[in-house]
């Protein structure tokens, strides 16, 4: 259930995170986690992709064949200011994954994990990286310990981004995605892309297939999951959805610790039609226990927030966080947010954007109060 009538939030603060007029800085949702996995109080960590700037008539303002480098942006003051760096070792390197030499401590205060998959800028395959010091240094790439040979996944292309829930020191849920292989770049390829849940209970040495969040027989794309744990057994996850006609965000939920999943609600549309491939969601639990979901709407050139007071069963009204988009090539390439809940109760959305003053694609953040439901 949704409430009609968008509301523009007038007290939002916009901050430049990463900008270089000679570069294309974009797609945070391809590059790391949300609150709480990439957050330590007022310290926030965001990944993004950096490429060379170009202004083609196609969607992206970058040279199609790269090179692309995965960067990090860090704020130590809850999103008010940011510093950037290109860490190594990290995603995009043509290095064969290895096994984890010893069990990782997922519950360590500075633990952070990044998943890399096929099919998007600067990513080289099915691998993951981890660090124990809030992303200052990284280890990897690591493999998935036979996961992709599971009968449910065998022969499929691994397309995952980063979405995980820590269950204990050596116990971790990874929300991943895969799709059937088809010839060419046909709609079949995109619509076959589905989210599944995997688990490791030995600190990352082996991963097991747990469940499909959206089954392989579902006719629509369901990827780029943003998971939130509600209780010891309850988890909800927001998903990027696509049909041949339009794009939107759905929420699915599990009441049995990820063993099975049911549709909970539609949040909203990420496009009016299907010209620009929609947008992935970011979702977090607010300090007062509500859910907030943020995504970009490419056809309306907006960053949009929805809030739920009943664990995702209903949403609304729609709130517009940003609508001053202006790109140098006229294309509505935007969004892909990460979302953080600050200690003071405000939220921070980080996404890629263009403005009249900075029409090249770059990273910005919006700091805002949790909207009313």
pLDDT band at 10 (very low <50, low <70, confident <90, very high): low
Q: What's the rounded Cα separation, in Å, for the pair 303 and 95? A: 36
Specify the CATH number of the domain 7-368: 2.120.10.10
Q: Of 140, 215, 206, which is closest to residue 172 (Cα–Cα)?
A: 206
Predicted TM-score of the model (pTM): 0.95
Structure tokens at 6: 């968008």
Instruction: Please write the tens of the pLDDT for every residue from 288-342.
Output: 999 999 999 999 999 999 999 999 999 989 999 999 999 999 999 999 999 999 9
Instruction: Please write the tens of the pLDDT for every residue from 126-156.
Output: 999 999 999 999 999 999 999 999 999 998 9
The pLDDT assigned to 241 comes to: 95
Domain boundaries, the chain: 7-368
Q: What's the rounded Cα separation, in Å, for the pair 281 and 141? A: 26
Q: What's the rounded Cα separation, in Å, for the pair 304 and 306? A: 7
User: Biggest alpha carbon distance in the chain?
Assistant: 54
Q: Is 267 helix (H, G, I), strand (E, B) or coil?
A: strand
């Amino acid at each position: 259930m949704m409430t009609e009538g968008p509301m523009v939030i007038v007290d939002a603060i916009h901050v430049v995170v990463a900008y270089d007029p000679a570069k294309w800085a974009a797609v945070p949702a391809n590059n790391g986690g949300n609150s709480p996995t990439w957050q330590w109080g007022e310290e926030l960590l965001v990944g993004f992709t950096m490429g060379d700037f170009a202004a083609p008539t196609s969607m992206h303002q970058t040279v199609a064949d790269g090179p692309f480098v995965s960067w990090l942006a860090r704020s130590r003051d809850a999103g008010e200011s940011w510093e950037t760096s290109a860490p190594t070792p990290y995603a995009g390197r043509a290095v064969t994954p290895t096994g984890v030499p010893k069990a990782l401590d997922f519950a360590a205060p500075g633990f952070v994990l990044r998943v890399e998959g096929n099919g998007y800028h600067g990513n080289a395959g099915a691998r993951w990286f981890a660090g124990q010091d809030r992303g200052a240094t990284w280890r990897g790439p690591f493999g998935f310990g036979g996961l992709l040979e599971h009968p449910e996944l065998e022969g499929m292309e691994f397309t995952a981004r980063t979405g995980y829930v820590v269950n204990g020191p050596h116990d971790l849920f990874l929300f991943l995605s895969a799709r059937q292989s088809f010839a060419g770049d046909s709609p079949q390829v995109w619509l076959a892309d589905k989210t599944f849940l995997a688990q490791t209970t030995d600190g990352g040495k082996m991963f097991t297939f747990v469940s499909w969040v959206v089954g392989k027989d579902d006719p629509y794309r369901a990827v780029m999951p943003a998971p939130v744990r509600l209780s010891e057994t309850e988890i909800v996850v927001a998903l990027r959805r696509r049909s041949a006609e339009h794009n939107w965000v759905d929420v699915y939920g599990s009441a049995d610790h990820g063993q099975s999943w049911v549709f909970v609600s539609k949040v909203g549309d990420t496009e009016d039609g299907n010209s620009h491939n929609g947008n992935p969601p970011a979702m977090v639990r607010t300090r007062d226990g509500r859910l907030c979901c943020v995504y970009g709407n490419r056809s309306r050139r907006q960053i949009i927030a929805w809030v739920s007071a009943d664990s995702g069963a209903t949403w609304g009204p729609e709130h517009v966080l940003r609508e001053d988009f202006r790109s140098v090539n006229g294309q509505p390439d935007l969004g892909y947010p990460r979302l953080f809940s600050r200690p003071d109760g405000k939220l921070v959305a980080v996404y890629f954007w263009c403005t009249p003053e900075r029409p090249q694609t770059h990273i910005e953040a919006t700091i805002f109060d949790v909207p009313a439901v």
